[in-house]
C-alpha cells in the first residue's frame, strides 16, 4: 500500500500540523509524544476533519485535494478506524456493533467474513453481551473486529494498547500481529511506546509538535536517531557527549570522558568534532569473567550499579567511566547472577555506537 500525505496545514491548539510524507509498508508506526498531532492526523486521513490545505492519496485514489476541491466523505474512504477510546456503541450489543459496518458482498474476501474475524479475535462468546460489561481487553478486540468487518483497505489505530497494563498488552499484541500477517492489511499505528513499535511496525514516522522529524525503516531510525530529541523519544537509553579523536572513512574513534569507543558512522559531516554518542540498551552484551577475543570492537570494563525490573526484561545500569544502560532477559540476569557492585565487561559492536553531531 502506498500512502501519500502532502501539503497538510492544520492549525491545532499550540502548533500547526504540517506534513509532506509518503510511506509504503505493512505497518507504519506514527510515533511521538502525546499532543504531537497524531490523532488529528488520523482524523484527517479518515475524513473526519478537514484542513485548510491537504492532499491525501491512498494507493491510486485521491481522497483529499483541497487545491482541486476534492473531498471523499468518511464513509467512502474504506478506512477502518479504531480510536483511542474505542467508541463502541453503548446502546448496541457486541453483535450489533460488529455488524454495523459489515457489508455482505458475494465474492468478497473470505478473510473478512464475519466468522473468520470472530475466530481470529476470539470474540465468539461475547456476542450477546452489552458493550458496557466487557473488560478492557475484550472491548479492544471487539473494536478491532468491528473495524475489520468493513473490509477496509487501511486500518488506522490510535494508541490501541495505551490504556492496558503490561500483561494485557502482551495478550492483545498477538492479535495485532495476526491481523498484520493473516489479513495482510496495511496499518497506520499511532503510539508513543517503543516496544509496540519494535514489535509490530516496519516503517516509522516520528512526529513532534506537528512536524515529521524522521521517517524510515524502524530499525534504522532506532539505531540512528537523527537528533537528540528523537533519540530521547525513542528512548535510546545511553546518550553521552563525545569528542572525535580520529576518523578513517566510516570508522570513528570517539572519546567519552577518558573512555575510547569505536563507532561506525556513515553520515557524519566532515568537520564534526563534538558528538552525542547513542547506544541502545538492547545492543549492550554483558560478559562475566574473561573477555577473550571477540568481534565486538568495544570492550568496556564496568561495575553493576543497579538492576531493575522492566517488564519482561531487566534494566542494568553500569558504570564504565560513564553511565551505560543494558537490557537483559530475566533468564540472562539470573544466569549471570548480577548484583550491584559486580564487575562485568560490556561488549558493544562498533555499528551499534551511533554518533549525532552536536
Partner 1 sequence: MSAEEWQIVWFTAWVSALSTLVILPGGLAAAWVLARYQWRGKTFVETAVTLPLVMPPVATGLILLKLLGRRGAIGGFLHDTLDFDVVYTWRGVLIALGVMSFPLLVRSARVAFEEVDSRLEQIARTLGAGNLRVFCTVTLPLASRGIVGGMLLAFARALGEFGATIMVAGNIPGRTSTLSLAIFQSVQLGQDANAFRLLGVSVVLAFAAVWSSEWLMRRKNR
Binding site for partner 1 (CB under 8 A): 43, 46-48, 73-75, 77, 79-81, 83, 85, 87, 89-91, 100-101, 103, 132, 146-147, 150
Q: How far apart are CA 16 and CA 64, in angstroms?
A: 18
The closest alpha carbon to 137, from 102, 100, 176, 99, belongs to: 176
Cell of 24: 509504503
Residue 185 Cβ vs partner 1, minimum distance, rounded to whole Å: 15
Nearest CB to partner 1, comparing residues 47 and 242: 47
Contact 279, 354 (CB under 8 A): yes
Q: What is the closest distance, in whole angstroms, from the C-beta atom of residue 86 to partner 1 in the complex?
A: 9
Number of H helices, E strands in the chain: 9, 21
Minimum CB distance to partner 1, residue 146 (Å): 7
CA dihedral sign of residues 191, 196, 197, 201: negative
Number of neighbouring beta carbons within 10 Å of residue 343: 10
- Residue closer to partner 1 (CB basis): 146 or 276: 146
For residues 63 and 177, give the distance between their C-alpha atoms in angstroms, rounded to a whole number.
28
- Taking residue 300's Cβ as centre, other Cβ atoms within 10 Å add up to 21
- The least distance separating partner 1 from the CB of residue 29, rounded to whole angstroms, comes to 20
User: Cβ closer to partner 1: 108 or 245?
Assistant: 108
Instruction: Provide the minimum distance between the beta carbon of 77 and partner 1 in the complex, in angstroms, as a whole number.
Output: 8
Distance in angstroms (rounded) separating the CA atoms of residues 148 and 152: 6
Three-state secondary-structure class, residue 184? coil
Cα–Cα distance for residue pair 86/145, rounded to 1 Å: 11
Instruction: Report the residue number, 151 or 203, with the smaller CB distance to partner 1.
Output: 151
Sign of CA dihedral 209, 210, 215, 218: positive
Residue 92: CB minimum distance to partner 1, A: 8
Residue with smaller CB distance to partner 1, 47 or 225: 47
Question: CB count, 10 Å around CB of 304?
Answer: 19
The grid coordinates listed for 71 are 473531498
Q: How far is the CB of 154 from partner 1 (least distance, A)?
A: 11
| CA dist., res. 230 & res. 234, Å (int) | 6
Of residues 109 and 335, the one with the C-beta less far from partner 1: 109
Q: Which is nearer to partner 1, 43 or 283 (CB)?
A: 43
CB of 103 to partner 1, least distance (A): 7
- Which residue's CB is nearer to partner 1, number 152 or number 225? 152
Amino acid at each position: 500500500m502506498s500512502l501519500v500525505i502532502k501539503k497538510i496545514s492544520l492549525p491545532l491548539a499550540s502548533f500547526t500540523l504540517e506534513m509532506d510524507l509518503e510511506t509504503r509498508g505493512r505497518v507504519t508506526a506514527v510515533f511521538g509524544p502525546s499532543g504531537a498531532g497524531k490523532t488529528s492526523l488520523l482524523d484527517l486521513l479518515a475524513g473526519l476533519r478537514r484542513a485548510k490545505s491537504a492532499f491525501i492519496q491512498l494507493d491510486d485514489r485521491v481522497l483529499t485535494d483541497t487545491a482541486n476541491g476534492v473531498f471523499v466523505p468518511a464513509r467512502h474512504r474504506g478506512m477502518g478506524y479504531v480510536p483511542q477510546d474505542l467508541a463502541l456503541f453503548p446502546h448496541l450489543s457486541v453483535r450489533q456493533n460488529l455488524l454495523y459496518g459489515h457489508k455482505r458482498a458475494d465474492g468478497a474476501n473470505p478473510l473478512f467474513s464475519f466468522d473468520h474475524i470472530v475466530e481470529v479475535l476470539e470474540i465468539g462468546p461475547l456476542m450477546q453481551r452489552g458493550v458496557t460489561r466487557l473488560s478492557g481487553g475484550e472491548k479492544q478486540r471487539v473494536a478491532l473486529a468491528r473495524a475489520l468487518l468493513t473490509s477496509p483497505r487501511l486500518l488506522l489505530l490510535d494508541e490501541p494498547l495505551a490504556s492496558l497494563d503490561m500483561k494485557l498488552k502482551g495478550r492483545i499484541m498477538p492479535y495485532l500481529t495476526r491481523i498484520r500477517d493473516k489479513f495482510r492489511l496495511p496499518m497506520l499505528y499511532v503510539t508513543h511506546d517503543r516496544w509496540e513499535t519494535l514489535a509490530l511496525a516496519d516503517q516509522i514516522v516520528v512526529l513532534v509538535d506537528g512536524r515529521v522529524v524522521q521517517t524510515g525503516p524502524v530499525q534504522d531510525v532506532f539505531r540512528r536517531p537523527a537528533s537528540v530529541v528523537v533519540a530521547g523519544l525513542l528512548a535510546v537509553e545511553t546518550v553521552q557527549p563525545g569528542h572525535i579523536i580520529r576518523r578513517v572513512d566510516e570508522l570513528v574513534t570517539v572519546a567519552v570522558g577518558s573512555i575510547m569507543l569505536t563507532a561506525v558512522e556513515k553520515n557524519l559531516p566532515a568537520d564534526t568534532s563534538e558528538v552525542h554518542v547513542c547506544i541502545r540498551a538492547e545492543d549492550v552484551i554483558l560478559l562475566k569473567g574473561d573477555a577473550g577475543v571477540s568481534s565486538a570492537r568495544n570492550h568496556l570494563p564496568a561495575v553493576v550499579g543497579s538492576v531493575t525490573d522492566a517488564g519482561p526484561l531487566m534494566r542494568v545500569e553500569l558504570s564504565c567511566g560513564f553511565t551505560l544502560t543494558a537490557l537483559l532477559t530475566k533468564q540472562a540476569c539470573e544466569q549471570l547472577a548480577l548484583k550491584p557492585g559486580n564487575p562485568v565487561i560490556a561488549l558493544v559492536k562498533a555499528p551499534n555506537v551511533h554518533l549525532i553531531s552536536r
